A = this chain, B = another copy of it.
Amino acid sequence: MKKLLLTGFAAFLDNPINPTEKIVEELDGEVIDSYKIVARKLPVDFMMAGKQLIAYMEELELEAVIALGLAAGRSAITPERIAINCNDGLKDNGGYQPHGEKIVTGGADGYFSTLPLHKIIDALHEEKLPAHISNTAGTYVCNNVMYHALYFVQKHALSIPVGFIHLPASHELALKKQLPSWSQSDLTRAVKTIISTLSR
């Protein structure tokens, strides 16, 4: 059976809860259509997150990679269109603060996601789950992870679906700070729907 790497993150910055962490715990080992899910949590750390992802990609003979992240403030599921070669933003969980430097020296300025974005949006809408393509994954660790994954498939000329999906806050997080939010079960259902599209 084909293996799909699904990644999430732990809590970071002023977000005490990260809904992607629970999704990863819940879906690890599950089979969704033609994929077996290998789900892993990445550290919110510029120096380590990408390396760890690459290690999984080298080790696991994957046929698909979907990285998940929290986009606090967004109100819909947003598959990202592009990752860009730039680290910028506030301090990560390791205390490192980037200042606009490149992620990979000599890497392209940007790499498009290789996920079937329009198919994903359509599938989510059929499930009555709001979704649209996002044109920026930011310049924080989410973008960093997405860039690493796409650089890797580019470098090794792999043609597998690889990309990043930003999720809204969960209701549990929104109890702690006012944010648009979905129930955790809606978020998990969205991720399952997205994974299903890869088998169609």
Q: Which residues of A contact B (CB under 8 A)?
A: 75-76, 81-82, 84-86, 88, 100, 108-112, 117-118, 125, 128-130, 132-133, 135-136, 138-139, 171-172, 174-175, 178-183, 186
Q: Is there contact, CB below 8 Å, between A180 and B86?
A: no
Q: Copy number of this protein in the oligomer?
A: 4
> B175 contacts A130, CB within 8 Å?
yes
When chains A and B are docked, how far (Å) is the Cα of A132 from the Cα of B175? Answer: 10
Given A84-B82, A109-B108, A110-B82, A174-B75 contact (CB < 8 Å): yes
Is A128 within 8 A of B186, CB to CB?
A: no
Q: Contacts A84-B135, A109-B110; is A128 near B75 (CB within 8 Å)? A: no
- A109 contact from B75, B112, B136, Cβ within 8 A: B112
Is there contact, CB below 8 Å, between B132 and A135? no
Contact B138 A178 (CB under 8 A): no
Q: What are 7 pairs between A and B in contact, CB < 8 Å?
A: A75-B178, A85-B112, A100-B117, A109-B112, A110-B111, A129-B171, A132-B178
Contact A84 B110 (CB under 8 A): yes
